[in-house]
């Protein structure tokens, strides 16, 4: 069972009777996830997230994911790509927005955010999905933002992931910083988040507890 650490838990939201399925937080929240719950692709291990931090500072969201193994364990086999998928309901209205492709009863999302683990190459190349096949120099984080249309499951990419490259990844943790303006929120906004491991199974088992979050 996933464990949850909550900072400044809110009484403004009514949580599910099964506490592990729905959580609420103000300004910051930490989610734990069991190891070994991801799928393999052609014998290569999926990127296994065991901890997730979501914090806000009044201008930005900071997303930090911790992997079970060092990032090189996953990316040395040329497995650059998303680590988690964060479906965001930013207008506090479940009747507007798109539908998450995987899982049941997941609708009302304006955006999909994907923190990405990228591979840097010695020749200056960068792969944020798949690989270039050249000699690896290191790893870095980035993110993709997608915008949903009403009742659709396939959102449109609205940022260039190469222009969003963040810091180096040297251990198990990947971190991105996302300006509020990029997803149309402001200080005090309430967001519903439906979050899954990108390399998890294609069902509800890949999801973290649903999060209700107020940004600083």
Q: What is the pLDDT of residue 47?
A: 94
For residues 186 and 199, give the distance between their C-alpha atoms in angstroms, rounded to a whole number: 31
Quote the CA–CA distance of 45 and 197 in Å, as a whole number. 13
Q: How many other CB atoms sit within 10 Å of the CB of residue 119?
A: 27
pLDDT band at residue 69 using 50, 70 and 90 as cut-offs: very high
Is this prediction's pTM over 0.75?
yes
Q: pLDDT by residue (tens digit) across 122-137?
A: 999 999 998 888 899 9
174-186 average pLDDT score: 96
Question: Does the structure show a pLDDT above 80 at 11?
Answer: no
pLDDT at 103: 80
At residue 203 the predicted structure's pLDDT band, cuts being 50, 70 and 90, is confident
- Cα gap 58→185, rounded to integer Å: 10
Ramachandran region of residue 168, left (φ > 0), alpha (ψ -120 to 50) or beta? beta
What pLDDT sits at residue 86? 97
Which pair of structure tokens corresponds to residue 183? 């997803």
- Tell whether the model's pLDDT for residue 115 goes beyond 90: yes
pLDDT in tens, 14-31: 333 333 478 999 999 999
What pLDDT score does 19 carry? 35
Confidence band for 168, pLDDT divided at 50, 70 and 90: very high
Would you say residue 4 has pLDDT above 90?
A: no
Average pLDDT over residues 82-103: 94
Q: Per mean pLDDT, which range of 7-11, 56-60, 88-92, 181-185 is the poorest?
A: 7-11
Residues 6+ apart with CB under 8 A from 42: none
Binned at pLDDT 50, 70 and 90, residue 78 comes out as low
């Amino acid at each position: 069972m996933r464990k949850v650490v909550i900072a400044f838990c809110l009484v403004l939201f009514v949580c599910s009777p099964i506490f592990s399925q729905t959580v609420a937080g103000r300004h910051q929240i930490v989610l734990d996830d069991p190891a070994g719950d991801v799928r393999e692709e052609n014998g290569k291990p999926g990127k296994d997230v065991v901890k997730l931090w979501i914090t806000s500072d009044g201008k930005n969201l900071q997303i930090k994911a911790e992997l079970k193994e060092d990032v090189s364990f996953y990316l040395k086999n040329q497995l650059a790509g998303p680590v988690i998928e964060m479906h965001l309901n930013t207008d506090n209205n479940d009747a507007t927005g798109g539908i998450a492709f995987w899982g049941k009863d997941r609708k009302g999302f304006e955006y999909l955010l994907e923190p990405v683990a990228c591979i840097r190459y010695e020749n200056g190349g960068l792969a944020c999905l798949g690989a270039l096949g050249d000699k690896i120099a290191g790893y870095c984080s980035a993110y993709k933002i997608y915008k949903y249309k009403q009742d659709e499951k396939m959102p449109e990419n609205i940022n260039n992931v190469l222009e969003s490259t963040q810091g180096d990844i040297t251990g198990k943790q990947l971190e991105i910083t996302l300006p509020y303006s990029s997803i149309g929120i402001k200080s005090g906004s309430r967001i519903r988040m439906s979050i899954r491991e990108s390399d998890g199974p294609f069902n509800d088992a890949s999801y973290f507890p649903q999060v209700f979050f107020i940004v600083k």
